[in-house]
Structure 1
Amino acid sequence: MKKSKFLLIVMVFFAMFSCSTDTIETVEESSVLEDQSELVLKEIINLGFSEKDILDMGSYFLVGDDIMFSKTGRPQRTDDNMTPKQRRTTYLVDHNTIGVRIDPSLPSNWKTATRDAMNHWNANSGSSIFLYETDYYWPYNGGFLFNPEIEVMSDSSDPLPSSTIAAAEFPTSDGMPGYRVRINLDFNPCTLTNNLRFYNMIHELGHCLTFAHTNTSFGTHIAGTPTSDSNSVMNGGTACTLSSGLSTGDRTAVDTLYPLGITAPTNVQAYHDGDEELTMTWNAVPGAMSYKIYNNIKETGKTGWYHYRTRTSNSYSRELKRKFRSGYKMMVTAVDANGNESKMTEANYNW
């Protein structure tokens, strides 16, 4: 696909309600679950996409090579008074600490690429976005029932065209990120290297966070970003093109939409009394009303983290027999009065 230089844009996905600037249309829950093919197709076209670029894949429409629209949902209508250049939807992810499940059946090279891409997003110091690996889990003895917010999986259940390396969904009207990234393990237009897998996962996770293709005319120009950016990781049609990751313009866009709300805890230290008690301490964060404790879930044989406890002080203790402490890990975040959560900081283990 030929690259054209347009605006860095933000797009967000569909879902349970359809609305415009002045009118909100309420939809019966039962009707949302029905096939809405004609309505979804019409509204995708109204959003500014050409009908020739929309592929009917059975249970979903594929647009722009890697953007998925479910036929059981409704994309949000744009303001009819907007020009194509200004057209945008309104949904962003309403929180910044986001759990990602990586399907265990994926090949190891795609698992590594996904984890590296998550770390790349997390390393952007001007943004509050933090992606962490988790899994379905119901902790014992209190804790929190946890469901991952983004699932990274193969396209086996909904196959993609052989020329599409992966496809993602977009944030929904309830402020949740795009739920799925589907990877095409049969992609064949070029030989995939680990660097290409890494780049493509940065790109797809960007869709889940609300970013559409930089080099298209759909969406709204984000203030402070360039009017064209050939280095953007969010350019479309670049699955076989190496990238160094988020460009300066990309970082400005992310920082603008998801600015830092509260700083992360520092000097996080974990101690064990040598018998049965583990204690974690950290420096108090200005403006923090509470702290969330995350533990790894190694005792279940799964991979990742889950939110285990919330504390108002800058310390946390729990029973942990010495024989179980090997491989046990903890992280902590700060939460302000507005519910903004900081990035995670892992403990330094003193044992």
Structure 2
Amino acid sequence: MKKQEISYPLGTRPGDGEVLEVTEGVLWVRMPIPFKGLDFINLYLIEDDQGWTMVDSGFRSQKIKDLWEEVFANHLKGKPVNRLICTHFHPDHMGLAGWVCERWNIPLHMTFGEWTFGRMLYLECAPEVPDQVIDFYTRIGFTETMLDRVRAQGFGNFQKAVHELPVGFGRLEHDDILTIGGSDWQVRVGRGHSPEHACLYNEEKNILISGDQVLPRITPHIGVYPAEPQGNPLRKFLDSIDIFETLPEDVLVLPAHNDVFVGLHNQLSYYRDHHQERLARLKAACSSPKSALDLLPVLFDRELSEKDMSLGIAEGLAHCHYLVGTGELERTVGDDGVWRFLCCKEARSKVA
């Protein structure tokens, strides 16, 4: 059966710091973020009887605080924010969580994996990059120039992007039901883009607040990083698709980036096809040993900027680790200490 094509039924979007009502009791707020290519984030407010539940907070900056104050003053009908939910730990989502909680004297609600990971990154910031981090990037094939850039960035960027986090939180778990304004919102936890990404589904309103787990026009970033150097996030992401395919095809999806859309199943199918196509490219390229850096032109048809190159290597590594997990690739270590990937059939022939 042909899946519903993606469409954008609202036909518009709010400007920076502006508010648009998606449906009764659900507001879409757009805030700027300092990321090239993704220059804004969508945040949401859900009306309750005595106040509002905020979903994600935005990046840490005085400009965004000021924009929030205008939203608080002009769009909350004189009611307070009485709950903050963060879908995941990334700074554009959790950056102002501590400030919002202090501002309204309210709790922060997240999954355990997201809160602990964000809290860890906030606390472990240091002036110098740890040797283990440099070792990781050396193993995945970074050049000396690239390693120098890693050292120059230091190890405190997360703390700069995130307001001090609360020492406690309210735990969200998969299938939890939150009643907001007399309507039930079910927590659906996806993985891969982040450890335990919380989405919110309302059957009555037929709405899914999807955060970064499901986005139109682009695929969520799936990468391997020093905190979990041998992780397999792509497997977790592809497995999570099943969690969202059970939702109605015509559900209105409220994503963190780009526009509110209909066509969830179409996008989920695209994710599967997109990653399978790239896995096939990798298998074809790894008839001889290749590092994650070597595989960049295999995965990407365009020239990458310095920042995009680092993200691209992380994504390439995630795809390689998926194939190691299925037994289709073998990870080897050369005399230079760099990880290289080889089709297992070729590896066995080489040994024989």
TM-score tier, shorter chain, comes to under 0.3
Using structure 2 for the length normalisation, give the TM-score. 0.28
Using structure 1 for the length normalisation, give the TM-score. 0.28
Structure showing the higher helix proportion among its residues: 2
